[in-house]
Amino acid sequence: MSDNVLIRAEGVRKSFNGKEVLKGIDLEIRRGEVVVIIGPSGSGKSTFLRCLNLLEVPTGGHIFFNDVDITDKKVNIDLHRQKMGMVFQHFNLFPHMDILKNMVLGPEKLLKREPEKAKEYAMALLERVGLADRAHAYPSQLSGGQKQRIAIVRALCMQPEVMLFDEPTSALDPEMVGEVLQVMRDLARERMTMVVVTHEMGFAKEVADRVVFLDEGILMEQNEPEEFFNNPKNERLRGFLGKVL
Amino acid sequence: MGNFQERFYLNFIKDDRFMYLWNGLIITLEVTLFATLIGICLGFIVAIIRATYDRTGKLKVLNAICQVYLTVIRGTPAVVQLLIMYFVIFGSVNVSKILVAVLAFGINSGAYVAEICRAGIMSIDIGQMEAGRSIGFSYTQTMWYIILPQAFKNVLPALGNEFIVLLKETSISGYIALQDLTKGGDIIRSRTYDAFMPLIGVALVYLVLVLGFTKLVSILERRLNQSER
């Protein structure tokens, strides 16, 4: 098995009420790689991403994370999720806690970090995304862009091995998309392993090491961005790119 | 109004009759307080089981048991439950009537609290559970750290209301000859043959209590909301 592969999806299938939205997807994600998944809405790309950390339990196939089959029922998924950060379309910050508490909850309770150490680490991250002065604000006092940046650093606080992004900019006002993408760009530059579901084609072109096209629950094409966007082979991908570019 | 003063004296002052109301009040508050504690504990447990079943399909058997509990408690009058508790369940053993009342009202209240809390848990966006789980918290941890604190805040007004309903509900304690506030007034009435004074007195005490607790709940609510807005 390749030592560089962090996540390997093997024939992942998922059905909701008899309707199959993922029809057997194989994908490998290597350490330090940024993989962007695109596709029309309803193509199953979000479902696939959520299968990677088992927020959706696949109805078939396997997910290997660090060579452990996490779809195995005997595996304690909570331990593996600690190493897989996730960022959601709707931020999902905890509204009853201030920003700092949002960030240190996981490290303190799960990683058993000293409160002081956890705070220090969180503050350093906040500093990096330019929100240190908001440490004691509550989520409802922040703009969408700020919330999403907090959601990203909250996930980073757990020092994950991979970050999963589920349409992180889709719920944002257009003028706030840039600040979130910038944080993601910085992360990519630090060689964080990232899997990003997005509609931001510019981001895909610029940051991705590999772009994946999903449609109707099937992985139609994957390639490095240059080939992918300039020389798409799949008929559907050509149609899709024609519409969105 | 000389008549009024005389009646007031006769019903409340003479022979320290106000002590019937005072002692009754203590018992009413005791029963309400402990029944509320039981109700909230029971209610939260039932609510968590039911919400877990609703969301994940797990805990099927426990959910069925909870269903039966809710159906029976909500489908029968509290007086009947109290009487069954006293004369049937504890019929052959000698236990304190206060304990019987606390249990009966606690179990009764738990059913209503459960439905309030279940609605509270279900009102929390599913994204909160997903966010908690994605960090690596277990289902139970996510419930404890993330869902329940928010749900509790949402249901606090309804819980306060339930407490007030329960406070008034305990006035049926007289059915098992427990000398609560209402029974205290009744005793005075039987001594003085005056219905007006003791009953209006009892009603006023309940009213003051209810107004006081309503105020308390709204203060608490405001406190809890400060963090979010």
B228 touches chain A (CB under 8 A): yes
The tens digit of pLDDT for each residue in B16-27 reads 888 888 999 999
The tens digit of pLDDT for each residue in B144-160 reads 999 999 999 899 889 99
Q: Which of B125, B127, B228 has its CB closest to that of A96?
A: B228
Q: Tell me if B136 and A110 make a contact (CB, 8 A cut-off).
A: yes
The tens digit of pLDDT for each residue in B62-117 reads 999 999 999 999 999 999 999 999 999 998 888 999 999 999 999 999 999 999 99
Smallest CA–CA separation between A164 and chain B, in Å? 10
Specify the pLDDT at position B53: 93
Specify the pLDDT at position B226: 67
Interface subset of B 150-169, CB within 8 angstroms of A: 150, 153
Q: Which of A84, A92, A158 has its CB closest to that of B131?
A: A92
User: What are the residues facing A146 on neighbouring strands?
Assistant: none
Report pTM.
Answer: 0.85
Tokens 């992918």 belong to residue = A228
Task: Please give the ipTM for the structure prediction.
Answer: 0.92
| pLDDT higher than 60, residue B185 | yes
A110 touches chain B (CB under 8 A): yes
A112 touches chain B (CB under 8 A): no
Q: Which residue on chain B is closest to A103 by alpha carbon?
A: B135
Average pLDDT, chain B: 91
Q: How far is CA A184 from CA A72, A135, A149, B46, in A?
A: 31, 20, 9, 43
Write out chain A's pLDDT in tens, 245 residues: 456 899 999 999 999 999 999 999 999 999 999 999 999 988 999 999 999 999 999 999 999 999 999 999 999 999 999 999 999 999 999 999 999 999 999 999 999 999 999 999 999 999 999 999 999 999 999 999 999 999 999 999 999 999 999 999 999 999 999 999 999 999 999 999 999 999 999 999 999 999 999 999 999 999 999 999 999 999 999 999 998 87
